[in-house]
């Protein structure tokens, strides 16, 4: 069993507990009552690099990253720094996140929010919308082509945007084949947790202009930002470097400035 398999198995167990507490009909009604989802794509398609800043307490590869007692305050710092969107981990076992974190952040900021979790059933998409998410994550390695197609359609029906995450050329091809418009390249192999920052550059050309390109994981310094920006990243998703920085507002600005220099030098 890979690390990804183990995480998904845990996510399914947690999902069954939530389904037992809250019937799907109640979740659907809550999703329908939520304010309309925000559209992140205009900002993601803008010439300037967009930053998705992540509220992330821990990870399977690094363990504890930060003691985030007030996710809403951290999110407000991200928004002040110019974050185009904010990612909130809601998986509890490996990442120590909760849907309550998403609720708190939604109540505090008015930028698009990504529910960062392992989405494997339709229930979770209605749940995401009910808690104010504007984006959801679809991990190609965890889903069949049929699931990708169905989940992309459901995401659109709910007014949300799907970040379709890839790690290999085959996964990029699968993402593009089902019509993904926002394609992430994760520099971390979720099956082994190994990180190789060259992964993004190796796949960016394959994506081309078919979709907005997001570089994920392993982006820790302004040099890393400059590298992926020069390789064609439209968006970066950064968690560890921001939660450990001490001044995330300033860090986001420095990342955006590094990208500007890299793409206009």
Phi then psi for 20, rounded to 5 degrees?
-70, -35
The DSSP code for 14 is: H
Residues 6 or more apart in contact with residue 200 via CB below 8 angstroms:
185, 187, 213, 215, 216, 228, 231, 233
CB atoms within 10 A of CB 13: 10
Cβ 4 vs Cβ 141: under 8 Å? yes
Question: Most distant CA pair in the chain: distance in Å?
Answer: 56
Q: Are 132 and 103 in contact (CB under 8 A)?
A: yes
Positions annotated as catalytic residues are: 54, 56, 116, 165, 186, 216-217
Which token pair is 162?
A: 């799907």
DSSP 133-149: -SEEEEEGGGS-HHHHH
Please check whether residue 203 is in contact with residue 169, taking contact to mean a CB–CB distance below 8 angstroms: yes
**Do 105 and 95 contact (CB within 8 A), yes or no?**
no
């Amino acid at each position: 069993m890979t690390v990804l398999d183990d995480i998904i198995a845990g996510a399914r167990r947690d999902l069954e507990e939530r389904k037992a507490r809250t019937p799907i009909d109640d979740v659907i009604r809550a999703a329908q009552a939520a304010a309309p989802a925000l559209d992140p794509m205009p900002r993601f398609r803008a010439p300037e690099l967009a930053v998705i800043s992540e509220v992330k307490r821990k990870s399977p590869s690094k363990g504890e990253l930060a003691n985030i007692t007030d996710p809403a305050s951290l999110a407000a710092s991200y928004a002040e720094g110019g974050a185009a969107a904010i990612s909130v981990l809601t998986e509890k076992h490996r990442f120590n996140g909760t849907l309550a974190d998403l609720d708190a952040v939604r109540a505090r900021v008015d930028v698009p929010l990504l529910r960062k979790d392992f989405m494997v059933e339709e229930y979770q998409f209605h749940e995401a919308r009910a808690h104010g998410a504007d984006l959801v994550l679809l991990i190609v390695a965890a889903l069949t082509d049929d699931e990708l197609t169905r989940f992309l359609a459901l995401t659109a029906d709910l007014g949300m945007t799907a970040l379709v995450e890839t790690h290999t050329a085959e996964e990029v091809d699968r993402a593009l084949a089902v019509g993904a418009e926002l394609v992430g390249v994760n520099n971390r192999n979720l099956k082994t947790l190994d990180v190789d920052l060259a992964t993004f550059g190796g796949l960016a050309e394959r994506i081309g202009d078919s979709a907005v390109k997001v570089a994920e994981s392993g982006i820790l310094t302004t040099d890393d930002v400059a590298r992926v920006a020069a390789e064609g990243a439209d968006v970066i998703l950064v968690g560890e470097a921001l939660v450990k920085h001490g001044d995330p507002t300033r860090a986001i600005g420095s990342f955006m400035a590094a990208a500007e220099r890299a793409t206009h030098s």
